Chain A
Amino acid sequence: MYAPDFAYYRADSVAEIGRLLRAHPGAKVLAGGHSLIPLLKLRLAAPPALIDIGRVAELKGIAVADGRVRIGALTTHAEIAASSDVARHAPALAAAAGVIGDPAVRNRGTIGGNVAHADPASDLPTVLLALGASFAVATDDGERTIPAGKFFQGMMATALGDHDVVTAIDVPAAPGGQGQAYEKFSHPASRYAVIGVAATVELRGETVGNVAVALGGLVPAAVRTGSVEQALSGRAPSAEAIAGAAAAVSNDLGDDLIGDIYASAEYRRAMAPVCVKRALTAALKQASVADAPAARSPWWKPSWL
């Protein structure tokens, strides 16, 4: 596997990434390399230059502040999976990061690269969508924030412009009592998600309150399934109600289902309600026990302190 020729630059700051991107049209930033390098080696991509952002310190780390968890774009999947802050405030994200690929992938791959690459079989877009995350992006003229709902636009397509760099991902801390779960049907070879379902549920007394459910692996970009959310919200959380709500996922799948030699589109369509049901069931289990109020944490406490 031999990549075509490219120039290599290393940036030390976010500002320098921007400068290098403007100076080298067509250049790509290189984070963990676990999506980009395979494309180069298969000669499916041939950018004239790579800009290595791996040493940009300001892009690393996890902190809790203002009711949200801020995760630097260069934070690895393994760091997210091991973070007690993430486990506490965004347990579905911790769960998803912990089932990405294998240890080597989790030790190299970054959350920024994962969302920028926007593979429909990735785990993090799905969970970040369900959690209502937003993306801090450095652009040619400063900073902007893109909500997850606007970020993922299609098969490996995002709202990022050519010179845009994701700097951090903000995830709202789970409100007290919210249950979260990530249910993954893994591909046995790649370990990517054949189907990934992220769910958050809140309980209001005897009935289900807010529900958010997002799907990955099924359609070209991660999506929320409003039909399921509406069907469950306000209902008593019985097994029948969960199964009934899960079945409503069919309304939101459309005709553009992904299929391959391992799992056909028809099979994925049949499995979608099963995975949604399992995700909701797991999330509800957490909801019934997790009733402590969201922790107030000090301003900007990086995980390495």
Chain B
Amino acid sequence: MSTRIFGSGIRRREDPRLITGSATYTDDLTLPRMVHAAMLRSPHAHARITAIDTSKAAAAPGVIAVYTHADTEGGLQPAPCAWLLPDSDLKIASYHCLAKDVVRFAGDIVAVVVAESRYQAEDALELIDVGYEPLPAVTDPEAAAAEGAPKLHDEIDGNQAFHWKVAGGDVDAAFAGADVVVKDRIVQQRLIPNAMEPRAALASFVGATGELTVWNTTQNPHIVRFLTSLVLGLSEDKIRVIAPEVGGGFGSKIAAYPADFLTMFCSRKLNRPVKWTETRSENYQSTTHGRDHVQHVELAAKNDGTVLGLRCTVHAGMGAYLSTAAPGIPTILHGLMLSGVYTLPAVHEDVYGVYTNGVPVEAYRGAGRPEATFMLERMMDVLAARLDMDPADVRRKNMIPKFDDGHEVVTTLKYDSGDYPGALDKVLSHADYAGLRAKQKAGPANGTYTGLGLATYVEICGLGPSQVAGAIGFQGGLWESAIVRFHPSGKVHVFIGASPHGQGEETTFAQIVGSELGVDPQDVKVFHGDTDNTPMGWGTYGSRTTAVGGAALALTARKIRDKAKVIAAHLLEAAVEDMDYEDGKFFVKGAPDQSKTIGDIALMANVAWNMPEGVEAGLEASTFYDPPNFTFPFGAHLAVVEVDAETGAVALKRYVALDDCGPQINPVIVEGQVHGGVVQGVGQALWEEAVYDEGGQLVTGSMLDYALPRADLLPDIEVLSTVTPSPHHPLGVKGIGEAGTIASTAAVYNAVMDALRPLGVTSVRMPLTPERVWQAIQDARQAKG
């Protein structure tokens, strides 16, 4: 493999079009005869619809149609939930695209208006009269599961969407035999994903052909196509879904949404192109949110710090309906990761998925793993504090030793490879942890307390073996595909089933082809995101695109190499067994001067004037790659914070991130992914929260109140890495998209609690706003007397 291309930090080829504004997003598209949809959303978190009068709106200037639930009967099925979690008593409530009789969150769609312009559609929304009979609402997952809570769905008792368990080892014995048990109640607050591009769909149904084309800002166009065929009752071959430029997703563009289906429905009804783009306010009140766990955690250990068992109960708020992949997030992607980087002899977790009067909760960067990592890493620090040990020592004591070909943990997952102590040690020495601790011992200066926070993690990426997908109820496969096509000039087109939307695979995938076949990455163009001209694939999420799609691509390139070798042997009049290959050149062993380049072969294969007997023309191959296992990236992060005890303000002073994603195809892109991921995790620790009031109104309804991370509030992030290849991946690579988010929330939270330890504070609800920290300090002072 050429190290020149693989591993070089070449610039992202995506960036020139993105930063010059030449990229084409869904909302940039205009079709002849196109009209605009706007959604009337419920202002109530929970209410019975007593009447809807659309007559005034229908008569308003420019209005073409107004539809309510009654109009969609027979033409539109509910938005499906596609992760049918087994053994969990899963109860799926119908998620009607237009609310039927009852609205269940502020943002549920009640009517859709189609008009000549978006302004006219918005004006007409104000003319629709809806009679609501408000019902009591509940948005907190624990409260929603409690006796007497308002009931969301008549047919579902206790608002319980599912009850899922993971158990391994003898947890009762572990707790019975423990010297110490530490506990905490942790709230993983509800977060808003905030992709830069809001969601949008442009649907064009052509009655004469019966074909529907949909431009949709999605992470997985093939899944959208499949679900559309179910929801609209159209044959899958008549549907084309295109994800043009997609401005980020972070999980919020996995789901296929009611508003998307409604846009398609309107186009089909009207036989005209219909476009809908949500406003940022709509994004906040209807595009899926993340996290929303209330976790009760207990950790049992011996006096020397050896961990014996973990026991937890989680109430996971699912929102009013189950979004496309929602049930798998707080369960499979969460509970199975509870062993972390440690030798954990016993675990038991109950996860209750709970319907609440909020926006549906889905995957959000990290999806289940940050919530698991936080629980475990927080408890490690609580245990260290209880035993008066250093948090690094407690971790090291329990870590799984270095392994490079498989390690099975108590949750039955088989980690691929890891060197967890190595990662931790590298971070500690880079940061001069001992020196930082010594400085901290000197005590606070001017009321400013310093804290150090560690988080080590392992995550599950590269989702995943399709057989496992089936076993865990995921209603699809999890393989990926790639086609590599050489043109006569030696230039290459690559078609992939995955759907990158900002991560940079147009660059890294060109690097894979470049390094496998000795072509300049500039000569490799990567196509994705169009169901009509890319092979089937399952989408970009779960840090799987390179881990699965990248493997498909590497294997495809190797098939091309094999064919090229046969052609080269023929042209050089040698036996195939005598051929050698290096850096894009094929030659007879020992005679590298006489060689054929991959470009020579591409030309010959395409003109086919002189091909070996029985070899087809063309230089093209494809692979459908179903991974044998998941991949398990890991790392160790360290945060250094200062807390101003007078105000409670927290300042993040230093951040060190070590992430091991295996060999790095492009270290600059890896670093970018780490930066973005870390920042989103820090956001959860310090700033972000979707807040509903008592009545279920979203109080943080815009960026004026929902605090996103800002550059000036962050230090430079010190990015380190180690390289532990995955033994089962053709390139050894693991995945990096979510790593930063998975560790950073816990690292920063632990650092703040470390700073507050001398003040007697042990727990503060996230985000750690100045007021909350200040209040905790006051409360601790009072408790001390």
Contacts and interface: CB of A to CB of B under 8 A. Distances in A.
Interface of A: 1-2, 4-5, 42-43, 102, 185, 187-190, 260-264, 267, 270-271, 274
Given A188-B687, A189-B705, A1 B647 contact: no
Contact of B708 (A1, A189, A262, A263): A189
Interface stretch (B347-355, B730-738, B770-778): B770-778
A271 B774 CA distance: 10
Contact of A261 (B700, B708, B774): B700
Interface string B335-379: 000000000000000000000000000000000000000000000
A262 B771 contact: yes
Contacts of A1: 279-281
Contacts of A4: 123
B699 A261 contact: yes
Contacts of A267: 770-771, 774-775
B281 A42 contact: yes
Given A188-B707, A261-B691, A262-B769, A270 B774 contact: yes
Contacts of B704: 189-190
Interface string B756-784: 00000000000001110011000000000
Contacts of A102: 710
Nearest to B700: A261
A187 B126 CA distance: 33
B119 interface: yes
Q: List the 8 shortest-distance A-B pairs measured between CB atoms, nearest first.
A: A189-B707, A188-B707, A2-B122, A267-B771, A190-B704, A1-B279, A188-B687, A263-B771
Contacts of B703: 189-190
A185 B647 contact: yes
B67 interface: no
A290 B710 CA distance: 34
Interface string B613-648: 000000000000000000000000000000000110
Contact of A264 (B119, B281, B771): B771
Contacts of A2: 118-119, 122, 279
Nearest to B775: A267
Interface of B: 118-119, 122-123, 126, 279-281, 646-647, 686-687, 691, 699-700, 703-708, 710, 713, 769-771, 774-775
A225 B390 CA distance: 48
Say what secondary structure dominates the interface of chain A. loop
Contacts of B775: 267
A274 B705 CA distance: 24
Contact of A190 (B119, B691, B705, B770): B705
A263 B770 contact: yes
Given A187-B707, A189-B703, A263-B769, 11 more contacts: A2-B118, A2-B119, A185-B770, A188-B707, A188-B710, A188-B713, A189-B705, A190-B705, A261-B705, A262-B769, A263-B770
A9 B713 CA distance: 41
Nearest to A195: B647
Question: Most chain-B CB neighbours within 10 Å: which of A4, A263, A264, A270?
Answer: A270
B647 A274 contact: yes
A9 to B, nearest CB: 19
A236 B650 CA distance: 33
A43 B119 CA distance: 12
Nearest to A277: B646
B656 to A, nearest CB: 23
Contacts of B708: 189
B40 to A, nearest CB: 13
Question: Most chain-B CB neighbours within 10 Å: which of A42, A190, A262, A271?
Answer: A262
A185 B774 CA distance: 14
Contacts of B126: 43
Nearest to A3: B119
Question: Most chain-A CB neighbours within 10 Å: which of B279, B708, B770?
Answer: B770
Contacts of A271: 647, 774
8 contacts: A2-B119, A188-B713, A189-B706, A190-B704, A190-B705, A261-B705, A270-B774, A274-B647
Contacts of B700: 189, 261
Contacts of A188: 686-687, 707, 710, 713
Contacts of B279: 1-2
A105 to B, nearest CB: 12
A36 to B, nearest CB: 15
Nearest to B691: A261
A189 B687 CA distance: 8
B113 to A, nearest CB: 12
Contacts of B123: 4-5
Contacts of B771: 262-264, 267
Nearest to A102: B710
A185 B713 CA distance: 13
Contacts of A187: 707
B75 to A, nearest CB: 28
A260 B771 CA distance: 11
A4 B126 CA distance: 10
A267 B687 CA distance: 17
Question: Most chain-A CB neighbours within 10 Å: which of B122, B280, B647, B703?
Answer: B647
Contacts of B707: 187-189, 262
A185 B769 CA distance: 12
Contacts of A261: 691, 699-700, 705
A188 B119 CA distance: 32
Contacts of B281: 1, 42
